[in-house]
Amino acid sequence: MNNSVMFIVGLVIFCAYMFSYLAMISKANKDQEEEMKRNSEL
């Protein structure tokens, strides 16, 4: 019982971390693409 609760809590924390990490990477990628597009127009 105790091990399964610890596993579920750890899994929830891990999933939240991975979601946040991938969202941050995606946002940085979009920002970089926008900046490259703006710089090429000059």
- 18-39 pLDDT, tens digit per residue, is 999 999 999 999 999 999 999 8
The answer to whether the predicted template modeling score (pTM) of the entire model surpasses 0.85 is no
Amino acid 11: pLDDT: 98
**Domain edges within the chain:** 1-42
Written as six digits, the tokens of 9 are: 């809590």
DSSP secondary structure of the chain? -HHHHHHHHHHHHHHHHHHHHHHHHHHHHHHHHHHHHHHHH-
Written as six digits, the tokens of 25 are: 């990477």
